[in-house]
Structure 1
Amino acid sequence: MSRLLQAIFGRLPIGWLQLTHNRTRFAAALAGVAFANVLVFVQLGIMASMGAATLRPYDFFRADIMISAGDANAMADGGNVARQWLLQAMADPDVTDGMGLFLANVAWDRGEKDISLSTFGIDPVKPGFLNPALAEDMSLLAVQDAAILDRLARGLAREEAAAIRPQTPLSFEAAGRTLTAYATFAGGGGFGGDGYMLVSDQTFLSLFPARSSAAPDHILLTLRPGADVDAAVARLKTLISDPSLRIRSFAAAAEEDLRYQQTRRPTGIIFGFGVLIGVLVGLVIVYQVLSTDVADHLREYATFKAMGYGSGFFLGVVFEEALVLGIMGFIPGLIIGTAILTLMGKITTLPLAMTPSMAISVFVGTVVFSALSGAIATRRLAAADPADLF
């Protein structure tokens, strides 16, 4: 390592030699930096999984425009929408079809522990509103109390889910009714439930008798091919007589939902602060190590300063130490962080995984903040008089 650093810097790697002189302190410093990296990786992984879980339900559907209640900040919250607005929207020349979307959580009674399923009630005769992979099984929902079940739901054994097919359906109790799953799809647990389930709108209303077919949670619209979505949205806002409704493109609805979850919901804010705390922990650890190292070698630095070496030389030595700590601390942090995220993903079925962009961003941040810590640690040395250091 000394030869490599000497070739890189073109001089004796003083910073590396000073760090490795006390191997115990060096190992403790690397462990501290690695811990800070792990903390940031886990928080970033959870934030990314929250984003993926938020957007996952939108992947189930195919629509151009979504109409929601004025207080609907996310797909899973807000009031209902009167079906009459669907009839008004159909008057627009670019709107080709519409469907009411019902949504609620259903508890699957599993005995010791229930499985919470985010359940969508849809019209089974309109497969065009579903992802093609889901649309293939839409006809199965025409049967009363039929369901398509999330095979990745938390609490559902993979072997049990794999056995579900039209020839070998699975019957279960939910919301006081007996439902029968004839097929499965890949969903996965989220922050609002253990998994997902698709049923027909009539089955949904039988599960929730207090709900009305005239008041779905959202209205989905499709436009003719080549139609301008933004222009259609603008026309619908004048065509529909309720100004309180949120009328936006389906893509914009997904983006607003994600932004709401990350910036306004407590979970998103907490995870954001977790990332900030991880960065601050790493900054403090590296600064403490470098500051202590500078203090321990003030006499040696004073000799160099008396010989005419400028502040740039000392800054370079401390930057060398900061880079060594940042890079060498990042490697174990990456390995441990990847292992933790993988394990958490398997346990929770959340989309937790290390991504290249996450690794690159944390690496760059580690190097930058290590260099910043080094710059702060050299302030005392830059202001010191060599005569006062002996």
Structure 2
Amino acid sequence: MTALLTRLMGRLPIGWLQLAHSRTRFLAALAGVAFANILVFVQLGILGALNDSTVAPYDLFGGDIMISSVDANTLTDGSNVARTRMFQALGTPGVADAAPLFIGNIEWQREDGGSSTLQVVGLDPDRPAFVPASLRAPVAGLRISDTVLLDESTRGLPAGALDGASSASPYRFELAGRAVEAVGTVSVGGGFTADGTLYASDQTFLRLFGSRSSAAPNHVLVTVEDGIDPGVVVDRLRAVLPGDVVKVATKTDMAAADLTYQTTERPTGVIFGFGVAIGIVVGLVIVYQVLSTDVADHLREYATFKAMGYGQRFFLGIVLEEAVILAVLGFVPGVAISAAIYSAMAAATGLPLAMGVDRAAMVLAGTIAACVVSGAIATRRLAAADPADLF
């Protein structure tokens, strides 16, 4: 290692030699950096799972624009929208078509004695413009009453339970006191508000939710005519529809607003955000303590160099060398252990947890930056030291 660093740096790696001189302290420092990495990774993983599970349902339906109740902060909360808003939208220039979207949560008591909360999405299967291309073929089979597409990744559902589910060989189960048949599958997975997703026609949805009315969907989906900017149509719809009753936005903007609300105003998102910040602070403190102690232990040697004419940049370079070494070497076990934790948590909870290259790179860059900041702070004592006072 010494030879490699000497070749890379073009000088004797003093920082590395100081760290390696006390192996016990060095290993303790690496363990501290690794722990801080694990803490940040776990919090980022759960926060990322919250983000993914928040926006995933938006991929289950099409449309360019959404009309929602003014008090709807997410896809599933807020008041219902009067169906008359759909007809008002259809009379607006630039609107090609509009359709109601029904969403609700339902409890499924499984045959094995367990229960799962399903987020049910109801759409008219005869309106393919509002169904994603990948789902149009299976959704077309939902014209038959009480047929659905069941999430194969539903939390609590045994692996392989839906293998082969089709119109010829449906998966039969009971839901809300009705016998339903899964004639196909979707793959969404569990989130923080539901264990899985159920895709149904609007008519089947209304049968499952007996208190709901076709006159009051959760949202109205709108498609725009070819060649027209959806933003222009949004402005036209806002001018036509009462702003104190409904709000209008592109589907992309609605998903982004939902995500912002979940991560900045809902307790779950705020807690995990604080967890990431705490992990960063823990890393800063650990590395600062290690480097500050190292500077104090070698203060006489540094003073000798200072008396020989070496400037502050030289000492800063040595400490930053130590900081980068701690960051990189501490990151390796941190990312490996975090990946194992992700796998275990995903298997236990069904949350979409995965160690992406972008997340690993971001944490590595943050670790190096935190260690460099800690190193810069640790050298402040050396900058103020007078060599004559140290002997």
- SS in structure 1 at match of 2:325: helix
Q: Which 10-residue stretch deviates more, 212-221 or 379-388?
A: 379-388
Matched, 1:224 2:197: no
**1:69 corresponding residue in structure 2:** 69
Deviation at 1:243, TM superposition (A): 3.8
Deviation at 1:113, TM superposition (A): 1.7
**2:133 corresponding residue in structure 1:** 132
Q: Which string of whole-angstrom CA distances, capped at 9 and with x for unpartnered residues, describes residues 124-161 of structure 1?
A: 21122111121112232222221111111111122211
Counterparts in 2 of 1:217 and 1:313: CA distance versus 1, 3 Å? same
**1:280 corresponding residue in structure 2:** 281
- In structure 1, list runs of 5 or more residues that go unmatched: none
Q: Percent identity?
A: 53
Q: Give the Cα separation in 1 of the matches to 2:162 and 2:156.
A: 11
Contact 1:108 1:172 in 2 (8 A): no
Q: Letter of the aligned partner of 1:377 in structure 2?
A: A
**2:148 corresponding residue in structure 1:** 147
Q: Give the Cα separation in 2 of the matches to 1:381 and 1:139.
A: 73
**1:377 corresponding residue in structure 2:** 378
- SS in structure 1 at match of 2:315: helix
Q: 1:203-214 maps to which residues of 2 (within 5 A)?
A: 203-214=204-215
Q: Letter of the aligned partner of 2:147 in structure 1?
A: A
Aligned residue pairs total 390
**1:168 corresponding residue in structure 2:** 169
Matched, 1:359 2:360: yes
Contact 2:39 2:276 in 1 (8 A): yes
- SS in structure 2 at match of 1:160: coil
Q: 1:11-160 maps to which residues of 2 (within 5 A)?
A: 11-110=11-110, 111-160=112-161
Q: Give the Cα separation in 1 of the matches to 2:167 and 2:206.
A: 23
Q: Give the Cα separation in 2 of the matches to 1:358 and 1:313.
A: 33
Q: Letter of the aligned partner of 1:154 in structure 2?
A: R
Q: Which string of whole-angstrom CA distances, capped at 9 and with x for unpartnered residues, describes residues 74-130 of structure 1?
A: 111111000001011111232222111111111111153201110012112112211
Q: Letter of the aligned partner of 2:196 in structure 1?
A: G
RMSD value over aligned CA atoms? 1.4
- SS in structure 1 at match of 2:135: helix
- SS in structure 1 at match of 2:140: helix
Deviation at 1:236, TM superposition (A): 1.1
- In structure 2, list runs of 5 or more residues that go unmatched: none
Q: Give the Cα separation in 2 of the matches to 1:296 and 1:329.
A: 22
Deviation at 1:370, TM superposition (A): 0.6
**1:180 corresponding residue in structure 2:** 181
Deviation at 1:346, TM superposition (A): 2.9
Q: Which string of whole-angstrom CA distances, capped at 9 and with x for unpartnered residues, describes residues 353-387 of structure 1?
A: 11121111111111111111111111111111112
Q: Give the Cα separation in 2 of the matches to 1:230 and 1:281.
A: 45
Q: Give the Cα separation in 1 of the matches to 2:123 and 2:11.
A: 70
Contact 1:237 1:243 in 2 (8 A): no
Q: Give the Cα separation in 2 of the matches to 1:285 and 1:198.
A: 49
Q: Which 10-residue stretch deviates more, 50-59 or 302-311?
A: 302-311
Q: Give the Cα separation in 2 of the matches to 1:228 and 1:375.
A: 51
Q: Give the Cα separation in 1 of the matches to 2:157 and 2:29.
A: 44
Q: Give the Cα separation in 1 of the matches to 2:59 and 2:226.
A: 20
Q: Give the Cα separation in 2 of the matches to 1:243 and 1:157.
A: 46
**1:306 corresponding residue in structure 2:** 307
Matched, 1:193 2:194: yes
- SS in structure 2 at match of 1:302: helix
Q: Give the Cα separation in 2 of the matches to 1:8 and 1:139.
A: 63
Q: Letter of the aligned partner of 1:353 in structure 2?
A: A
Q: Letter of the aligned partner of 1:269 in structure 2?
A: V
Contact 1:15 1:320 in 2 (8 A): yes
TM superposition score normalised by structure 2: 0.96
**1:343 corresponding residue in structure 2:** 344
Q: Give the Cα separation in 2 of the matches to 1:243 and 1:92.
A: 19
Q: Which 10-residue stretch deviates more, 297-306 or 145-154?
A: 297-306
Q: Letter of the aligned partner of 1:213 in structure 2?
A: S
Q: Which 10-residue stretch deviates more, 286-295 or 91-100?
A: 91-100
Deviation at 1:349, TM superposition (A): 2.4
Deviation at 1:4, TM superposition (A): 1.7
Q: Give the Cα separation in 2 of the matches to 1:245 and 1:125.
A: 26
Q: Letter of the aligned partner of 2:160 in structure 1?
A: E
Matched, 1:233 2:224: no
TM superposition score normalised by structure 1: 0.97
- SS in structure 2 at match of 1:222: strand
Matched, 1:251 2:252: yes
- SS in structure 1 at match of 2:161: helix
Q: Give the Cα separation in 2 of the matches to 1:181 and 1:361.
A: 41
- SS in structure 2 at match of 1:89: helix
Q: Give the Cα separation in 2 of the matches to 1:138 and 1:261.
A: 29
Contact 2:284 2:374 in 1 (8 A): yes
- SS in structure 1 at match of 2:38: helix
Contact 1:322 1:374 in 2 (8 A): yes
**1:324 corresponding residue in structure 2:** 325
Q: Give the Cα separation in 2 of the matches to 1:350 and 1:225.
A: 38
Q: Which string of whole-angstrom CA distances, capped at 9 and with x for unpartnered residues, describes residues 316-354 of structure 1?
A: 111111111011111111111122223322332222111
- SS in structure 1 at match of 2:341: helix
